[in-house]
Amino acid sequence: MRIKNYLIAGVAVLLGTALNSCNSNDDQGTQDIEIPGVTFDGDTDCCSAEEALQVFRFLETVKIIPELSTVVDGKYNVFAYSRTGKFNVGYNELYFVVTKKKNGNYVKNYELTDLSPVMLMVKMNMRHSTPVSGPAESFNDSYAAVKRTWISFIMSSGESGSWTLGYNVSVLGSKGSVEEADITVDPLPAGQEWVKSFKQGDDTYYISIVNPTDLKTGANTLKAYVSKKSTPATTPYAIASESFRVDIDPRMPDMGNHTSPDNTPLTRQADGSYQGTVNLTMTGLWRIHFTVRDLQGNIVAGGDDLKDGYSSLFWDVTL
């Protein structure tokens, strides 16, 4: 079928019409699925109509980052997305989609590696990186053509310095890259802190809370990553190979520092993340104090019994 091309930046305007006019579960069958800019021509490198519709629906939930988009070998478009189309201090998920220029369809197999965020601190004439996940990977069978990775920015852009971001991509034997694209990392709202550092010996670690804006009242699975600062500091900080236990103690500083029951420590999972349970019993500002321990139970950081009786390591989250 022939469908007029469209600008990817305008995708949100067209989504409603496309999805109301066709549905993968309609009695008409998948041959009647229409997606703006996509031609289904039996190309086995690309998604079927059903698969493409799932990708298209996912792209409704994110926004494009134009400065990270590129063209590979004149044949493939690479698009980058985040939840908001922007970056903020702390944990950020980054999504990628590759399309063929000849038919606009989503390529199923490609590799996106070497994500390289670097900050130039002008006044100090130095550069450093920040925690990253690693190569982008598929994360959902329903839209396997979408790949995800994450970055946890430890500082915002502004007077302190500026950020660039690059990556390499390989698509069906063709290679391309984005090199040192200028990006802006926004500060968090006042009073919010989602990434903290601690030291063990001469090593520096960063602990990043995942998707704190998704936390709700009641029991939540709390997820975080522990990353280790690299040498040289311009090399992206990978997930630490060392294992820890992270004890948590949520408090409400605006409500007499009361706590909540039924919280469990964050422990390392098979995928390298740390997961535990935090019980946030009401809306408002929560200061989630944490103490990092080694696997023998010895305190590595936090738990330092300050004058207020709590840890100097904490995440601030507002519900």
Say how far residue 79 (Cα) sits from the centre of its chain: 15
By the 8 A CB rule, do 190 and 207 touch? no
* Per-residue model confidence (pLDDT) at position 24: 38
Measure the CA–CA gap between 102 and 41, rounded to whole angstroms.
10
- CATH 2.60.40 occupies which residues in the chain? 195-318
Model pLDDT for residues 272-309, shown as the tens digit of each residue:
999 999 999 999 999 999 999 999 999 999 988 777 77
* Per-residue model confidence (pLDDT) at position 284: 94
Distances (CA, A) of 138 to 37, 89, 148, 208, 303: 23, 24, 6, 22, 38
Model pLDDT for residues 90-130, shown as the tens digit of each residue:
999 999 999 999 999 999 999 999 999 999 998 888 999 99
- Which residue numbers in the chain have pLDDT < 50? 1-30
* Per-residue model confidence (pLDDT) at position 310: 83
By the 8 A CB rule, do 122 and 138 touch? no
Measure the CA–CA gap between 266 and 277, rounded to whole angstroms.
7
* Per-residue model confidence (pLDDT) at position 60: 94
* Per-residue model confidence (pLDDT) at position 31: 56
CATH number for the region 195-318 comes to 2.60.40
* Per-residue model confidence (pLDDT) at position 306: 74
* Per-residue model confidence (pLDDT) at position 160: 84
> For residue 43, what is the DSSP state?
-
- Its pTM stands at 0.87
